[in-house]
Each structure stands twice: as C-alpha cells, then as structure tokens.
C-alpha cells in the first residue's frame, strides 16, 4: 500500500513537473492563498506575508524550478525574514533567472553574502531584470559591488530604486560608473534620502552629461546638502524630458533661471503635509469670513425690517389722524 502511495505521489509530481517535496509544498501553499494555479501566475507579491505563511526553504525550491516562470517578485513583509533568508531567496533566483523582470526586496536587508548573491544574479548573462527595488537594503560599502555587477550586464535595467540607503557621496560616485556606461539605459533613478551632498550631486551631473539620453525621472528628495550643484544638475537635465524631484526649498533656488514649462517639481512629503495644512487653514479662515459676512448681511436685513416696521407704524398713525379729523368735520356739519 505504501509503495502504491509513493508511486502516486511521484506520478503527481512528475505531471506537475516539480522536482522536490519542498517545491510541491510551496506550490500547494501558494495555491491556497492565491486561489489559482501558482505555476500559471507571472507575479508573486508576498509583501503582506510572513515566513510562517510559506517557508523560505520551500519557496526557494519552487523558485529553482525551471517550469516556474515568474516575472515579478516582491519579497516577504519587511522585518519578517532574516538576512540569511533574503540571501537564500536571491541565490535561488540565480538558478532560474531568464524570466524575472522585476525584483523588490521590500526593505529586507542584505548582508555581505546576500549582496554577493545579488551581484551574481545581476552579472548572469541570462538575467534580464528591468526593475530593481532595493529600498533600505544596502549600505555604502556595497555600492561598489552593486555598480560593478550592473556594469557587467547593463543593457536591460530601466528602473533602479536605491532610496533610504546611506550611500553618501562615495556610494554615488561608484554608482556613476554605471551611469556613465553608454550601454546603461536607466530611465528612472530613485535616490531619495541617500545622504547625498554637494560632491555626489556633482558626480551625477558629470555622469548624465556623458550619458543623458535615457533618463526620464530622477528623485533626489530629502538629500539636504546638495548645494549649488543642484543648479548645474537641473540646468543640464533641462535639455531632456526629465522629471526632477527635489525638496521645495531647493526648487526655489534652482528654478530662478529655468523654464518652468519644461519641469515637474514635487514637494517632499513633509512639505506637502504642511502645504495641505495651510490650505485647510485658509479654507477655514475663508469659511469664517463668509460666516461673518453672512451674519453682517443678516443684521442689515433685520435692521431694514425694523425700519420698515417703524415706517409702517408711522403711516398707520398718520392715517388714523386723518380719519379722526374727517369724523370731527362731519359732526360739526350736523350741528349746524
């Protein structure tokens, strides 16, 4: 009986083209919460899931399956897996890299070994990754490795999000090696809150001067010390159809000599919140003013009514006097 059951399990796995029990278990877990056949899905979003929902080792086994042709992957909810788990997942992608187009680590951090695995993935000639999101994932010391890896296979990447990583000027200079590469076709570069200062901004200006044609959006918000380098960068990018995102305080200094019709400026979240609060206050003040005006109008109307009433009373009094005079005249005629 046991042999028959084992034979059935092997046959079932063979029909599904899965090579391990872990991959089979991951497949079943995904089917349970996707309510669809996981092997037919092109995108897998685990941003609201934890390792208790689907075990990391099981997911790794499924990612290695040649028949699992995933194109978009977002990892587990931030903070719910370890650096080692994150490294293992990236390593699993190396086995089957040709279909993946978008990878979001979802603020799960990478240690040295994880960065090494990520670089191996990016250098793989079969890797055709177009969007890479590494928000709050790496540090300045790993920026050289990341830039070098992307330089080995630069032609596919279109969107790179390195926001909230403390890259500093040194890390940005390493990244500029990639940006200067003529085969690099990055269209969207997000560097929000990366501790970039004057030298880093100058390095970006130099890099985009050498290779400016593809960039369509550059986010430098919450980098507080860009200095006058921001003006030079803006002046250079003005020649292309590029959207530059900076804080309003820098925008006011930079845009004094630029054609505003060619630019889209975005306020930081804090500034947007302040602006919304100010607008709300203005609306409240205007509402109060309208209420006061309405009250004044009502008072005037009431006063007008009172005057009308008094006028009416005056008219009634005069009419009564005339009537009395007429009656007296009639009485006198009768006496005569």
Question: Can you give the residue ranges of every domain in the chain?
Answer: 1-99+111-120, 138-282
Which range, of 89-103, 130-144, 290-304, averages the lowest pLDDT?
290-304
Band (pLDDT 50/70/90 cuts) for residue 187 is very high
> What is the mean pLDDT of the segment spanning 295-311?
59
- pTM (2 d.p.): 0.73
Q: What is the pLDDT of residue 262?
A: 46
- pLDDT of 55-69, one tens digit each? 999 999 999 999 899
Q: What is the pLDDT of residue 278?
A: 53
Residue 54 has pLDDT above 60, yes or no: yes
CATH topology of domain 138-282: 3.80.10
> What is the mean pLDDT of the segment spanning 75-97?
95
Percent of the chain with pLDDT over 90: 57
Residue 260 has pLDDT above 50, yes or no: no
Band (pLDDT 50/70/90 cuts) for residue 256 is very low
> What is the mean pLDDT of the segment spanning 97-126?
96
- pLDDT of 131-149, one tens digit each? 999 999 988 889 999 999 9
> What is the mean pLDDT of the segment spanning 45-60?
95
Band (pLDDT 50/70/90 cuts) for residue 213 is confident
Helix/strand/coil (H, E, C) string of the chain? Answer: CHHHHHHHHHHHHHHHCCCCHHHHHHHHHHHHHHCCCHHHCCEEECCCCCCCCCCHHHHHHHHCCCCCCCCEEECCCCCCCCHHHHHHHHHHHHHCCCCCCEEECCCCCCCHHHHHHHHHHHHCCCCCCCEEECCCCCCHHHHHHHHHHHHHCCCCCCEEECCCCCCHHHHHHHHHHHHCCCCCCCCEEECCCCCCEHHHHHHHHHHHHHCCCCCCEEECCCCCECCCHHHHHHHHHCCCCCEEECCHHHHHHHHHHCCHHHCCCCCCHHHHHHHHHHHHHHHHHHHHHHHHHHHHHHHHHHHHHHHHHHHHHHHHHHHHHHHHHHHHHHHHHHHC
Higher-confidence residue of 289 and 153: namely: 153
Q: What is the pLDDT of residue 288?
A: 59
């Amino acid at each position: 009986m046991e042999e028959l059951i084992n034979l059935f399990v092997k046959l079932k796995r063979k029909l599904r083209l899965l090579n391990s029990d872990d991959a089979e278990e991951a497949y079943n877990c995904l089917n349970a919460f996707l309510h669809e056949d996981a092997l037919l899905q092109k995108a897998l979003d685990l941003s609201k899931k934890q390792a208790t929902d689907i075990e990391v080792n099981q997911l790794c086994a499924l990612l290695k399956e040649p028949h699992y042709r995933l194109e978009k992957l977002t990892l587990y909810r931030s903070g719910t897996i370890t650096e080692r788990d994150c490294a293992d997942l990236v390593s699993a992608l190396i086995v089957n890299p040709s279909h993946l187009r978008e990878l979001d680590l979802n603020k799960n951090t990478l240690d040295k070994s994880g960065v090494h695995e990520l670089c191996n993935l990016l250098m793989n000639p079969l890797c055709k990754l177009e969007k890479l999101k590494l928000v709050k994932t790496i540090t300045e010391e790993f920026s050289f490795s990341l830039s070098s890896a992307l330089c080995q296979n630069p032609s596919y990447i279109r969107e790179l999000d390195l926001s909230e990583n403390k890259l500093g000027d040194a890390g940005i200079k390493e990244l500029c090696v990639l940006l200067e590469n003529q085969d690099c076709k990055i269209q969207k570069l997000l560097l929000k809150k990366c501790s970039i200062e004057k030298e880093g901004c100058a390095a970006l200006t130099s890099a985009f001067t050498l290779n400016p044609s593809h960039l369509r959006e550059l986010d430098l918000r919450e980098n507080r010390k860009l200095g006058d380098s921001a003006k030079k960068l803006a002046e250079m990018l003005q020649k292309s159809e590029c959207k530059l995102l900076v804080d309003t305080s820098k925008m006011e200094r930079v845009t004094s000599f630029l054609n505003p019709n060619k630019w889209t400026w975005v306020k930081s979240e804090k500034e947007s919140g302040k602006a919304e609060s100010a607008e709300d206050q203005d609306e409240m003040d205007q509402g109060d003013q309208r209420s006061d005006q309405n009250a004044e109008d009502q008072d005037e109307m009431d006063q007008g009514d009172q005057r009308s009433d008094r006028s009416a009373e005056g008219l009634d009094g005069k009419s009564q006097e005339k009537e009395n005079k007429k009656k007296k005249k009639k009485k006198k005629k009768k006496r005569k």
